[in-house]
Amino acid sequence: MVQQAPPPTRNLTYRLLDTIGLAIVTGQYETQPFPTEAQLAQTHGVSRSVTREAVKMLTAKGLLSARPRQGTIVRPSETWNLFDTDVLRWMLERTFSVDLLRQFSQLRIAIEPEAAALAAQFGGATDLVDIDAGLERMIAADRDADDPLDADIAFHIAILKASRNPFYGQFRDVVATALRTSIRFTNRIKGRNASIADHSAVRNAIFARDPEAARTAMRHLIGDVIELIDRVDAVGNGSTT
């Protein structure tokens, strides 16, 4: 069955959404009022209905709000939906932030070790196959036979899914989006791809149905990333400790 392309109007809406969302997150409206729908339509050469839909989507993501007699305004960053993958992607595309990477890694260390422990307890046969496949892809990536980013992400997403907890599973898109920046950063600093040995330790503990070992191995894996970020940040700030 041939998959139909999205309607042109939807493409225009998402293109405008991406343009305005990134502009908001990078602070382009910090010193000027947010444009009216008519101004946005004229500036970007789209219809008012496309503009209205894009603004509505940005409002749902927590970036905008409409107030009587004040028009549409940009909301403070504290109200943005950071679990929305568009918002997270825009934040990662702006000026590189070590702090943001650290905060994301802190979130991961609160979630992924427990997901690994649950995977060791409740993961089914298909889940274990997917985890193993992710690790095999990482091994292949070390031989330049696969993409290291996609392989690493596939491994971590497989573990979230194997937890058999739908709440953990909901983090897959957030983890996948943010890992693309995090892995590029850590691999560039280390000068190599992710540690196969560390990922194998997580895989082996899950396969051994050892929740505590799986939790510890995943915590060690992500803890190394946080230590690396802290070292880079310390050097950047001129610290010698």
Per-residue model confidence (pLDDT) at position 118: 98
Per-residue model confidence (pLDDT) at position 95: 63
- Give the model confidence (pLDDT) of 64-123 as tens digits: 998 877 789 999 999 999 899 999 889 887 766 778 888 888 999 999 999 999 999 999
Per-residue model confidence (pLDDT) at position 53: 95
Q: Which tokens in the block code for residue 132?
A: 């193993």
Per-residue model confidence (pLDDT) at position 1: 44
Which residue numbers in the chain have pLDDT < 70?
1-9, 95-96, 191-192, 236-241
Distance CA 9, CA 88 (A): 24
Distance CA 181, CA 218 (A): 19
Per-residue model confidence (pLDDT) at position 8: 54
The full set of domains in the chain, from first to last, is 8-79 (1.10.10.10), 96-236 (1.20.120.530)
Is residue 31 packed enough to be buried (19+ CB in 10 Å), middle (13-18) or exposed (0-12)?
exposed
Is residue 220 packed enough to be buried (19+ CB in 10 Å), middle (13-18) or exposed (0-12)?
middle
What is the model's pTM? 0.81
For residue 73, the cross-strand partners are 65
The answer to whether residues 129 and 219 touch, using CB atoms and an 8 Å cutoff, is no
Selection from 119, 160, 164, 157 nearest residue 138 by Cα: 157
The answer to whether residues 105 and 226 touch, using CB atoms and an 8 Å cutoff, is yes
